[in-house]
Amino acid sequence: MIPGPVTIQASKLAADLLNLLDRPPVDERVVLDEENHPVGLVDTQDLIRPRIL
């Protein structure tokens, strides 16, 4: 596992993710639940398919 991975809370909206993708510039984020356990991974490609990005 990468030390200090770039994360986002599962409760955040896709718009929140868009605002965070360039800080730092990475194209994927680890998704965390309320207890900060990893529950998934979201990639910019996940936003392109449904035309969010």
Banded model confidence at residue 2, pLDDT cuts 50, 70, 90: low
pLDDT at 45 over 70: yes
| Predicted model pTM | 0.74
DSSP codes joined into one string, the chain: --SS--EEETTS-HHHHHHHTBTTB-SEEEEE-TTS-EEEEEEHHHHHTTT--
Q: How confident is the model at residue 37 (pLDDT cuts 50, 70, 90)?
A: very high
- Confidence (pLDDT) at 28: 84
- Determine the 3-state secondary structure of 47 from DSSP: helix
Report which of residues 14 and 1 the model is more confident about. 14
CA distance 17 to 2: 20
The SS3 of residue 2 is: coil
Give the residue, 25 or 7, on which the prediction is more confident: 7
